[in-house]
Structure 1
Amino acid sequence: MKREGIKRYIPVTIFTALLVTIIYELAYTYKWWELKVTIVPWGYITNVSYAYGSFLIGTMWIFYFTFKKFWLFLVANIIADGIDAFLIREFMELRGIIHYINLSNWNLFIVMVALSLIAFGFQVWQEKTFKLKESGT
């Protein structure tokens, strides 16, 4: 990825990682799921490898390749979120890494798509900020 792309999309990437962390906090509080295996001792609430690993990197690349075209962005996110909610999460539950309690795969999918729309709105706002900065206003 070019340096300009990293600079342009790192704010939305960090923002979405923060939102995913908040979602994990809500999941812990409302017993949506329970993490059974963690990579860090304090990771029993937030799956650190997901929120600050694969999700963070995936967000960056999806924005880099699709941001300028909303429908392409939406389709890419629906595909990625579907794979995550229906395949990867099922695999993780079968392996004993996570256990769903009060949240179905469909509910998780809807939460993730909503998160991508919030992130898109954030990036639109960021783009306006970039344009103001470039114009010197």
Structure 2
Amino acid sequence: MKNTKFLILLMFILPWLSLPLIGGKTVKRFLPGALFMCVYLMFEGMLAEKRKWWWFPYKIKPNVLGEMPLIFGPFLVGSLWVLKFTFGKFNLYLLVNIIVDAIFTYLGLDLFKKIGYVTLVRLSKFQLSLLFLVKSFFMYGFQLLYEKLFRKSLYYR
């Protein structure tokens, strides 16, 4: 599809337009958990490229992971939104993550494949869903640990 570059740019920019609605305190509080997952996703992307779990035929630049717009666009901002409304309510957090991940896996991925952005190779949609579920636990656990270790000291400054 010839509008792929424009659609990817839009996918990256649009989530950032919602950031002012989240609030500065929320961004400051949950940014460590979201950034931790972004770094995790970059390493996962390198592993996935070697093991051919998925393929991004569209390259932003040579030596740059094709999933960077996804990681630093909808994933980063979406993680902030999910944490804002669900952190401290683990069952709700898990449910929201399962729903969002299923929408991405079973609807979004087909759209991305259609525009020539990404396709699964050695990973089924179900396996991708399980991978997303594991990442949900990692992000929640990291945020819990961060809050336990650092947030209390921030309240007394």
TM over 0.5: same fold? yes
C-alpha separation in 1, matches of 2:63 and 2:77? 19
| 1:117 CA displacement | 0.6
1:120 aligns to 2:137 (yes or no) = no
**1:25-104 alignment, distance < 5 Å:** 25-38=46-59, 40-42=60-62, 45-104=65-124
What is the percentage of aligned positions where both structures have the same residue? 28
Match of 1:8 among 29, 37, 56: 29
C-alpha separation in 2, matches of 1:84 and 1:70? 21
C-alpha separation in 1, matches of 2:64 and 2:122? 17
Instruction: Flag structure 1 segments of 5+ consecutive residues without an equivalent.
Output: none
C-alpha separation in 2, matches of 1:46 and 1:95? 14
| 1:63 CA displacement | 0.3
Match of 2:42 in 1: 21
Point out which structure has higher relative CO (alpha carbons under 8 A, 6+ apart): 2
Moved more, 63-72 or 42-51: 42-51
Match of 2:130 in 1: 110
CA contact (8 A) 1:78 1:113 kept: yes
Moved over 6 A (4+): none
TM-score of the two chains, using structure 1 as the length reference? 0.91
Instruction: Flag structure 2 segments of 5+ consecutive residues without an equivalent.
Output: 1-21
With over 3 angstroms needed to count, the CA separation of the structure-2 counterparts of 1:107 and 1:6, relative to structure 1, is same
C-alpha separation in 1, matches of 2:105 and 2:98? 10
Q: Deviations over 1:100-136 (max 9, x none)?
A: 2100111111101110110000011011121244358
TM-score of the two chains, using structure 2 as the length reference? 0.80
Moved more, 93-102 or 40-49: 40-49
Moved more, 124-133 or 114-123: 124-133
Aligned-residue RMSD, C-alpha: 1.6
